[in-house]
Structure 1
């Protein structure tokens, strides 16, 4: 079979890519056809800062791929507070117009306001977080009429694939344990004096009724996580439903030393288990299906890698044939054929953040681009690349500051 690989070429001081010559990539006697990739397309250019309105790996696009959810802000070099409103809006990907929808006071630079398109009406309904009357809530909105359909008295951190359920965690507790992932304000009870609360943890929300059920408390995981000192407290972060919606992955962490345990549970609260042996920890993640998920973790306690884990089998596989042995934000394409991931600026002296695409069949890896991040974007207001796939798998959205400001970008793929 004759196969060609086309590599993006877009050279500037801020951004550079691999060689543009057509080449054939062979891996284990298999020829891999990588897609043609467009130059990065900046979604909004109006003098303000922009980022996708959710965490990496979360779909930011309507089902018809006409619109993307984006946050607009004037904040650049500090943590947003409860007094800092960000504008949640839609970018029309045909006209590149930005349409403001509403404002939110429950947002951060890493995860936006956790906006999700709802599968119950995937071209018109979204859910996002806000701070209202002193409490963190989630709001379901029709983006075309701007009508608020429902306000749910709990913030969301993940939404089920069918759009009927969500996971809620304590964003006020996050503010004191992992500040750049929490929200400003007193929107929830931090329970900062309790190491392992029995009444706080992982809540399953019914988006039709707004009711919340605690399915795993922090007290439930006490015997599964490393011991913490007297002045430390446990917290939950980074939740994600499996692709079929039957399981939930999340990270249990603690301060002051931020030890990490990767956990999964069935949506009814049964089957609570650790993913890894001691010392493997965990950082970033995505479900490939209902049984397999990728977690960047310390493989065999030695080296952070993109590790594919099969639930219930204690079966682990390093992805990327040694080329992806770092802590990246890996996420799988809708057809499960590809994984896109990224690097941190700290990985090299040039402060370049790179995007890699891996073929799941052969583990062949290609660079899609490298983006220089200025020195000023560090710490709590850093800008991670945070890739996300479009529903058809022919676009990848990402955030970058290579132009000198925080902006949302798009790569178009042609297979």
Structure 2
């Protein structure tokens, strides 16, 4: 065992979900794909293993029944998806309904915003469904409302998580008043713009914002649904992630009480005319000392994030009320990952990006009481998948916290895997 790290992978049973005839994946780490009783597992399925998406590729939407031999239940199809986040498929609170993003076929939503995309709510028990006027980005834990962003703006700034337009990509202003964060009521479909990009442009403005494209990403709602967090990013060179600048914010669910927790505005030598962005590897940006990424609520008032503070980059735990910051896993957790806390707040689940030498991604639990990391496994990823087609592990807790679900390509196709951690958690 190296300092603070133990390999317990041989003690953790792992199995592939489903028959593997199609490629199966869920996407992001910030929500569980397990039903409230841990029986059903949401997923997307496609015959493609990898490939650049054009907006015409169809993905199946549905769930596996883990108590019936992983039998697949198809609920619908969509062309509004990507490899990183899927179609934002998720459970609607504890209702048993699901919601996912779809491509528009009828009249558009709010004027000049999201003309191409919608979301669909399905009740698996009855088969009934209805369409909402906007796509979703994140759901409130109780399923009452969703927050959303402009997926066409992601195509211009962070293509990995965007959806291509049905016809032609829209022309985007740098920081408009009519684009930003929208709130949508799930029962009624009522929509409201609660924060504009122009408001962020004006909030504690710095000169690097003047000629930059602005966007919002990594939105998350706190457990009680009262506040949400997000990252505000801006850049003059959207094709080079090393030119991204970041601010971490929180605010109330109606757009009030905006709080700036971290600002990484800094000089950018990458903007010089002779700078060559090709000198960087695929995942070098994820290891940037200036990056704020993957923030998530630990509680109503605490936020875990990978990012810099006081000149050091770590897993940082922010207090939303006081602004106090605590380093998590100093000297042990030394690289970026996709982290979430278990229900008791003691265990943190996370992963790493591929090792430059072995192309292995690590999956681990971190015991915040003992400051010890327990590696659950290492998973190979082909080095030629690239950024847009990659398959991050994106680990997700089951509701009971006895299982972990990951997406992985270590066996030659894109599949979901279940790891049983009930035994090791009891022993540790």
Alpha-carbon distance change, 211 to 199 in structure 1, aligned in 2, over 3 angstroms: same
Q: Find out whether 1:200 has 2:179 as its counterpart.
A: yes
* In structure 2, distance between residues paired with 1:72 and 1:277: 39
For 1:30, the equivalent position in structure 2 comes to none
Match of 2:322 in 1: 313
Paired residues of 2:7 and 2:375 also in contact (CA < 8 A)? no
CA deviation digits over 1:23-65, x for unaligned, max 9?
Answer: xxxxxxxxxxxxxx32x2111233321111x421211011011
Distance 2:375 2:126 in 1: 41
- Please say if residues 248 and 267 of structure 1, whose CA atoms lie closer than 8 Å, have aligned partners that are also in contact: yes
Equivalent residues in 2 for 1:210-249 (5 A)? 210-222=189-201, 223-224=203-204, 227-228=207-208, 232-249=212-229
Match of 1:371 in 2: 379
Aligned equivalents of 2:415 and 2:8: distance in 1? Answer: 23
- Distance (Å, rounded) in 2 between the aligned partners of 1:88 and 1:299: 40
2: CA distance, partners of 1:46 / 1:158: 29
Corresponding position of 2:116: 135
Partner of 2:86: 112
- Is the 2:245–2:264 Cα contact (8 Å) retained in structure 1? no
Tell me if the contact between 1:173 and 1:189 (Cα under 8 Å) persists in the aligned partners: no
Q: 1:139 to 1:348 in 2, by over 3 A?
A: same
Select which of 46, 62, 80 maps to 2:20.
46
How far apart are residue 380 of structure 1 and its match? 0.6
Q: How far 1:185 sits from its partner (Å)?
A: 1.7
Paired residues, number = 377
Corresponding residue SS for 2:9: coil
Q: Which residue of 2 aligns with 1:263?
A: 249
User: 2:220, 2:229 within 8 Å by CA — same for their partners in 1?
Assistant: yes
Provide the rounded CA distance (Å) in 1 between the counterparts of 2:168 and 2:326.
39
Please state how far the C-alpha of 1:187 moved relative to its aligned partner. Answer: 8.8
C-alpha separation in 2, matches of 1:47 and 1:120: 31
Question: CA 1:285 to 1:188, structure 2 compared with 1: closer, same or farther past 3 Å?
Answer: farther
State the Cα distance separating 1:392 from its structure 2 match. Answer: 1.3
Other-structure match for 2:65: 92
SS at match of 1:221: helix
- The within-5 A match list for 1:115-126 is 115-121=89-95, 124-126=96-98
| d(CA) in 1 for partners of 2:295, 2:34 | 20
SS at match of 2:293: coil
| Residues 187, 139 of structure 1: alpha-carbon distance in 2 compared, 3 angstrom cutoff | farther
Gaps of 5+ in 2: 1-5, 106-114, 238-242, 266-289
Where in structure 2 are the equivalents of 1:173-188 lying within 5 Å?
A: 173-186=153-166
Distance 2:212 2:389 in 1: 25
- The alpha carbon displacement at 1:184 in A equals 1.7
Question: Which of 123, 126, 143 is equivalent to 1:163?
Answer: 143
Q: Report the equivalent of 1:32.
A: none
Does the residue aligned with 1:276 lie in a helix, a strand or coil? strand
Who is 2:230 aligned against?
Answer: 250
The correspondence of residues 25-40 of structure 1 with structure 2, limited to 5 A, is: 37-38=12-13, 40=14
Which of residues 289, 292, 316 in structure 1 aligns to 2:299? 289
TM-score (norm: length of structure 2):
0.83
1:380 maps to 2:388: yes
SS in 2 for 1:379: coil
Deviation at residue 188 of structure 1 after TM alignment: 10
**Deviating more after overlay: 158-167 vs 97-106:** 97-106
**How many Å apart are 1:6 and its aligned residue?**
9.3
Moved more, 71-80 or 173-182: 71-80
Q: CA deviation at 1:234?
A: 0.4
- Asked if the contact 1:215/1:268 (under 8 Å) is kept, the reply is yes
Shift of 1:362: 2.8
Do the aligned residues in 2 keep the contact of 1:191 with 1:197 (CA within 8 Å)? no
Question: Counterpart in 1 of 2:365?
Answer: 357
Per the TM alignment, residue 118 of structure 1 is displaced from its structure 2 partner at its CA by 1.2
RMSD: 2.1
Unaligned runs of 5+ in 1: 10-19, 21-36
The aligned residue for residue 44 of structure 2 is 71
Deviations 1:285-309 (A, max 9, x none): 2111010010110232333x21100
Matched residues in 2 for 1:225 and 1:61: separation?
A: 42
Q: 1:225 to 1:245 in 2, by over 3 A?
A: farther
Asked whether the 8 Å contact 1:135–1:188 carries over to 2, the reply is: no
Q: Provide, for residues 69-110 of structure 1, a one-character-per-residue CA deviation record: whole Å limited to 9, x for no partner.
A: 111112333332221110112111121122222101111100
Q: Which has the higher helix share?
A: 2
Q: Deviations over 1:105-136 (max 9, x none)?
A: 11110001101111241xx2011100021631
Structure 1 residues 357 and 188, CA, compared in 2 at 3 Å: closer, same or farther?
Answer: farther
